[in-house]
Chain A
Amino acid sequence: MSTPHPDQEALAELAGSADAADSAKAADSAATAEIRAHVADCAQCTADLAALRELRATLLALPPIPMPADVVARLEAALAAASASASAPAAGGTADVVPFARPAREKLRRTPRTREFPLGAAAAVVLVLAIGAVAIGLSNKGESKRSPTTAAAASSSAAASTASTTVIESGTNYTAADIRSQVIGVVNGAAPDAANQFPALRAPVEGGSSAAAAPAPAAAAATSAAAPAASFAPAASANGSAPALGLPARTAPSGPLSDPAALARCIQTLVQKAEQPVLVDYATFNGVPSTIIVLADPDVAGKLDVYVEADTANCASQVTFVIFLPPPASPAR
């Protein structure tokens, strides 16, 4: 043989192209043509090339691998769940789910517009959950400057400066149907401080415990961080939300939003301003790893906005979805 053996990679690349016999040689580079010429005269390289070609043939002939049924079911459920959060009635339950374009808070007071950003519908992951706003029989927004809940909101802002956000991994799998009671349970269990600011969180206790007949929010807002979580846990249980008790100790959160800076950017994106969340739960929503962000709405007394942001979504949603839940059972007054 007149030329040196080509290296194995060159042969392997040649093995990926058509057989020399029937290939259009014009397509070959000079180097490839040289290799072909060498191989034609070299038994060893011919054998090597044959081995490589046979490898390709073996690989190409592998039988298809059908997706297992359990994986099909899992993926279809995940897609349906993600799709359900993007289509109003599908979220079902007792919740009144209304998709609308964000920013959520401005639009909240207007007629919800469906599909304002049809493209963004695909990106939508956010649920805004209004918890018990009606439960607070307070004056309207215009004159709420001195209202207790405004004080509570202010307190929430103050809490922001002291970085008191509760960050947990509760292990809860939130669902559209149950998210209201789930959030109530988790906030009560993990962030009793915050729960104190929101009477609606504590209100629906059957039998009207003393906790349910709690003091005005302004007073509650003054409660120290040492407020015992246990006193509110029964309310969570009464709501039928499972995970309030036995919350795991804080562990390292996971997901893209575990970075505080990323979380802050996400919140900025979601509500168009910097806000300190009351609670952040690295959990799942319909089985999809998600970050649940609970914000105290500064504009609507006693209302929590709950954003569910899938870990993969990067807060890129252009459409948000609001679930207007019925107010909790009338609180003891």
Chain B
Amino acid sequence: MTDGAPGGTADDGNALDVELLKRHLAGDAQAFTEIMRRHRDHLWAVALRTTGDPEDAADALQDGLISAMRHAASFRGDAKLSTWLHRIVVNACLDKLRRRAAHPTSPLPDDDRAPSTSRDEFDDRDTAADVRAALATLPADQRAAIVLVDIEGYPVADAAAILDVPAGTVKSRCARGRVKLVPLLAHLRGVERYPAAEGNPSADGHVEPQMNPPREDPR
């Protein structure tokens, strides 16, 4: 959590990660835990949103982190360490989802929002829960791509490295996921604040246009 934005600017963060990994390989029992601490919030967000379930997310994180710790020697430094770590954790999450799909015992929990919250009381928590519920409707591969690129803000190239697929595949997975998410999350787009007065459903099935004023850049 001391690390900055993922995939972004701080290469010195990666240098510290690599140094910690060296210390881990040299026998420093605390070094890997320190690496985990540095990335835990990003990893948690990715795992939680990819699996859609806190238990599964924690399980997948534990599996992934221990696997990463034990196979630390396999880190070759051709990617950033955080990318490598995310890759292992995301794979653990997808494994988890595959196993659950093979043995469905409980439905994907669709949210953890407070039970009686009305639609006009959006706050961050509601938004996050709505997003999680919407993400749960996506196929896992699209969800993972959306989580990495559109939520965590990884560059497509980094997401491609994490997911071990070509960049074009990441782009198309994100695109398909976005198309599905738009109607599901339309209510988060400030419809009430900016009513789409000129609703104009077209004959060829386009979604209703909503000419919202441009918002301030959230980044």
Mark A residues whose CB is within 8 Å of B: 5, 8-10, 12-13, 15-16, 43-48, 50-52, 54-68, 71-72, 74-76, 78-80, 82-84, 86-87, 90, 115, 118-125, 288, 310-313, 316-317
Q: Measured between alpha carbons, how far is A317 from B171 in the docked complex, in Å?
A: 37
Q: Which residues of A contact B33 (CB under 8 A)?
A: 76, 79-80, 83
From A12, A52, A125, A288, name the one whose CB has the most chain B CB atoms within 10 angstroms. Answer: A12
Given contacts A44-B209, A58-B188, A83-B29, whether A78 and B44 have CB atoms under 8 Å apart is no
Closest A-B pairs by Cβ, 5 of them:
A47-B209, A119-B73, A12-B175, A67-B44, A122-B72
The size bracket of the interface on B is: 35 or more
Q: How distant is B70 from chain A, measured CB to nearest CB, in Å?
A: 4
Question: What DSSP secondary structure best describes chain B's contact surface?
Answer: helix
Contact pick for B150, options A56, A66, A86, CB 8 Å: A56
Q: Which residues of B contact A13 (CB under 8 A)?
A: 171-172, 174-175
Contact pick for B178, options A56, A66, A80, CB 8 Å: A56
Q: How distant is B65 from chain A, measured CB to nearest CB, in Å?
A: 6
Closest to A16 in B: B174
Q: Measured between alpha carbons, how far is A84 from B30 in the docked complex, in Å?
A: 10
Q: Measured between alpha carbons, how far is A68 from B54 in the docked complex, in Å?
A: 10
Closest to A70 in B: B58
Mark B residues whose CB is within 8 Å of A: 1, 24-27, 29-30, 32-33, 36, 40-41, 43-45, 48-49, 54, 57-58, 61-63, 65-67, 69-73, 124, 127-128, 131, 146, 149-151, 153, 156, 171-172, 174-176, 178-179, 181-182, 185-186, 188-189, 200, 202, 204, 206-207, 209-212, 215, 217-219
Q: Which residues of B contact A84 (CB under 8 A)?
A: 29
Q: Which residues of B contact A65 (CB under 8 A)?
A: 41, 44-45, 48-49, 128
Q: How distant is A88 from chain B, measured CB to nearest CB, in Å?
A: 10
Q: Measured between alpha carbons, how far is A71 from B215 in the docked complex, in Å?
A: 36
User: Are A310 and B66 touching (Cβ within 8 A)?
Assistant: yes
Closest to A87 in B: B29
User: Are B189 and A115 touching (Cβ within 8 A)?
Assistant: no
Contact pick for A78, options B24, B65, B150, B182, CB 8 Å: B65
Contact pick for A316, options B54, B71, B172, CB 8 Å: B71
Closest to B214 in A: A50
Question: What DSSP secondary structure best describes chain A's contact surface?
Answer: helix
14 new A-B contacts at CB < 8 Å, known A54-B189, A63-B128: A43-B209, A44-B209, A45-B206, A51-B207, A60-B153, A64-B41, A67-B43, A68-B44, A68-B54, A78-B62, A78-B65, A79-B66, A311-B63, A312-B70
User: Are A313 and B215 touching (Cβ within 8 A)?
Assistant: no
Contact pick for B58, options A74, A76, A83, A310, CB 8 Å: A74
Q: How distant is B215 from chain A, measured CB to nearest CB, in Å?
A: 6
Q: How distant is B125 from chain A, measured CB to nearest CB, in Å?
A: 9
Q: How distant is B146 from chain A, measured CB to nearest CB, in Å?
A: 7
Q: Which residues of B contact A82 (CB under 8 A)?
A: 66, 69-70
Closest to B45 in A: A65
Q: Can you report 18 residue pairs joining A to B where beta carbons are below 8 Å apart? A: A10-B175, A12-B176, A12-B178, A48-B209, A54-B212, A55-B178, A55-B185, A56-B150, A57-B215, A57-B217, A62-B124, A74-B62, A118-B27, A119-B25, A122-B25, A124-B70, A125-B70, A316-B70
Closest to B200 in A: A44
User: Are B128 and A79 touching (Cβ within 8 A)?
Assistant: no
Given contacts A8-B179, A16-B174, A75-B36, whether A122 and B185 have CB atoms under 8 Å apart is no
Q: How distant is A97 from chain B, measured CB to nearest CB, in Å?
A: 13
Q: How distant is B97 from chain A, measured CB to nearest CB, in Å?
A: 16
User: Are A313 and B69 touching (Cβ within 8 A)?
Assistant: no
Q: Which residues of A contact B58 (CB under 8 A)?
A: 71, 74-75
Closest to A99 in B: B27
Q: Measured between alpha carbons, how far is A124 from B25 in the docked complex, in Å?
A: 11
Q: Measured between alpha carbons, how far is A10 from B171 in the docked complex, in Å?
A: 10
From B27, B72, B174, B211, name the one whose CB has the most chain A CB atoms within 10 angstroms. Answer: B27
Q: Which residues of A contact B26 (CB under 8 A)?
A: 118
Q: Measured between alpha carbons, how far is A282 from B58 in the docked complex, in Å?
A: 20
Closest to B67 in A: A312
Given contacts A54-B189, A60-B150, whether A12 and B174 have CB atoms under 8 Å apart is yes
